[in-house]
Amino acid sequence: MMQNAKISTYQFLILVTLFTIGTSILIVPSGLAAKAKHDAWIVAIVGMVIGLVVIGLFCLIAQWFPHLTFIQMNEMILGKWLGKGVSLLFVFMSFIYASSLLFYSGTFLNTHLLPNTPMASLNILMAIIIVMGVHLGLETIARSAEIFILVFFVLFFFLVLFISPEVKFENVQPIFEAGTKTVIQSTFPFIEVTSVNAIVLLMFFPVNVNNRKQASKSFFIGYIIGGIVIIIFTFLSVSVLGAYSTAAEVFPSYELAKRINIGDFIQRIEALMAGLWIIALYFKTTIYFYASVLGIAQILNLKDYRPLIVPLGMIAAVLSLVIYPNVVYQQNWNQTTGIFLSFSIGVFLPLLLVAVYAIRKKQLKKAPESS
């Protein structure tokens, strides 16, 4: 097993940040603006604060058995067969999301950058890099994340700097028109993509983090950094494009990059900025894929997860092509099915674990020592 891979708390923090930003950076502003209009950025702030509670829940679970992954924890707490059943659901979710993210990156490139290239070739290329990453192991992924986060933040910094002259505060006024009810309602999709899905991080947190005590702190900090990036993006989208365009665009943050124009000199650099989304999407997909591969290996009690990587990679690439017939279906699926799937795995399952753990506490405390 890859149990002895170790990543530092800083590397873990970066992975959390990239995971939080991941898809959200592309699609969240649009979804939020559709419901909350010009108050979308407020929803993002509220969502981030609520998300902290969810992250807190994960940290709570993680500290019971710091040497076990989430899959092993399920088995430990819920018993062998129930645990395996629940774990299968968990693996199913992360695998579906890995393919769905491949679909995202394919659609994104297809709509904006390479419209004539078949999506299959784009997805296969992306899948190959992901398979490579997972094959090389968590340590390599973490180290490359360390490098790419710099690229990410440099690009992010320039994007924010260059787009700031275009900000029109009229677009976000009047502030808080949406009202508390709408704001709370529209936070759910945000919480889903940013924090609830972060449950897949429990596949290597805190097992593979070298300093387990500091790891929880990194989880929070990483999440907050990622959240702030999304809040900034949402705010910029609404204040530059206006609430209507933000909601109408499929990828509003890319449209944002298109608007950059400093003195008719620095302009048309959106293709460069696309690097931002590719980096974030890559790491999020890789983490999902890693979680599903490792999860299957652990459910089947395999010694090594590597033999599974290539076949699952192929399945993911094919699945990404057939998973959604079109973008509209995908948006619909996210709003109806996806959100329940995420919440049942990412919130109700942990809560169930908390309840069962509370009942079986004494019994369980003995178990790890004896095993």
Partner 1 sequence: MNKCLFAILILSLFLTGCWDRRELNELAIMLAMGVEKVEEEYQVFAQVVVPSEVSMKGSTGSTKVTLYSAKGETVYEAFRKMTKDSPRKIYPGHLKILVMGEELAKEGIGESLDLLSRDWEIRPDFYVVVTKDTSPSEILNTTTNLESIPANKMFNSLQMSEKAWSGTKSITLDELIADLISDGKQAVITGVQLIGNSKIGSSKKNVEMVSPAASIQYDHLSVFKGDKLVGWLTEEETIAYSYVTDSVKTSVRRISCPEGGDATIAIEKSHSDVKGYIRKGNPEVDITIKVEGNIGSVECKMDLNDLGTIAELEKIYEKEKIAIINKTIDTLQKKYKTDIFGFGEAIHRANPKEWNKIKDHWEEEFSNVTVNVNVDLKILSTGTVNNSFLEEIKD
Span interacting with partner 1, options 72-80, 114-122, 222-230, 337-345, rule CB under 8 A = 114-122
Q: Helix, strand, coil % (nearest 5) of the chain?
A: 85, 0, 15
CA distance 277 to 298: 31
Report the 10 Å Cβ neighbour count for 348: 11
Report how many residues bind partner 1 under the rule CB under 8 A. Answer: 21
CB 251 within 8 A of CB 25: no
Calpha distance 258→112 (Å, rounded): 11
Smallest distance from partner 1 to CB 116, Å: 5
- Binder of partner 1 out of 68, 199, 241, 309 (CB under 8 A): 241
Q: Of the candidates 120, 136, 157, 170, which one interacts with partner 1 according to CB under 8 A? A: 170
Distances (CA, A) of 230 to 233, 249, 280: 5, 17, 12
Compare residues 113 and 232 and give the one whose CB is closer to partner 1.
113
Q: Which of 57, 61, 74, 112 binds partner 1 (CB under 8 A)?
A: 112
Give the C-alpha separation, 299 to 54, whole Å.
Answer: 25
Q: Could you tell me which stretch among 197-205, 220-228, 238-246, 329-337 binds partner 1 (CB under 8 A)? A: 238-246
Range in contact with partner 1 (rule: CB under 8 A) among 7-15, 72-80, 167-175, 188-196: 167-175
Report the alpha-carbon angle 349-352-355, nearest 5.
155
C-beta of 99: minimal distance to partner 1 in Å?
22
Q: Which of 4, 81, 115, 370 binds partner 1 (CB under 8 A)?
A: 115
Residue 111 within binding range of partner 1, rule CB under 8 A: yes
Using the rule CB under 8 A, give the single segment among 43-51, 68-76, 170-178, 193-201 that binds partner 1.
170-178
Ranges within 264-283 binding partner 1 (CB under 8 A): 268
Closer CB to partner 1, 117 or 210, in the complex: 117
Cα three-residue angle 185-189-190, rounded to 5 degrees: 100
Distance in Å, CB of 174 to partner 1, minimum:
5
Of 258, 302, 327, 352, the one binding partner 1 by CB under 8 A: 258
> How far are the Cα atoms of 77, 110, 338 from residue 6, in angstroms, in the given order?
25, 37, 32
Which residues, in sequence order, are bridge partners of residue 267?
261
Nearest to residue 102, comparing CAs of 80, 122, 131, 75?
122
Using CA atoms, how far apart are residues 171 and 143, in angstroms rounded to an integer? 40
Member of 10, 220, 244, 333 binding partner 1 (CB under 8 A): 244
Q: Which of 136, 147, 154, 177 binds partner 1 (CB under 8 A)?
A: 177
Q: What is the dihedral of CA 343, 347, 350, 354, to 10 degrees?
A: -140
Stretch that binds partner 1, among 132-140, 256-264, 278-286, 316-324 (CB under 8 A): 256-264
Q: How far is the CB of 285 from partner 1 (least distance, A)?
A: 22
Residues 121-140 that bind partner 1 (CB under 8 A): 121
Please state the closest distance from residue 159 (CB atom) to partner 1, in A.
Answer: 16
H or E stretch covering 26: helix 24-36
Q: Which of 81, 174, 180, 336 binds partner 1 (CB under 8 A)?
A: 174
Helix (H) or strand (E) holding 342: helix 339-343
Q: Which stretch binds partner 1 (CB under 8 A): 128-136, 190-198, 237-245, 303-311?
A: 237-245
Does residue 261 belong to the site contacting partner 1 (CB under 8 A)?
A: yes
Distance, in Å, from the CA atom of 250 to the CA atom of 361, rounded to the nearest integer, reads 48
Between helix 24-36 and helix 9-21 the angle, nearest 10°, is: 50
Amino acid letter, 232 = I
Q: What is the DSSP letter of 173?
A: P
Return the number of the residue (112 or 284) whose C-beta is nearest partner 1: 112
Positions in the binding site for partner 1 (CB under 8 A): 111-118, 121, 170, 173-174, 177, 241-242, 244-245, 258-259, 261, 268
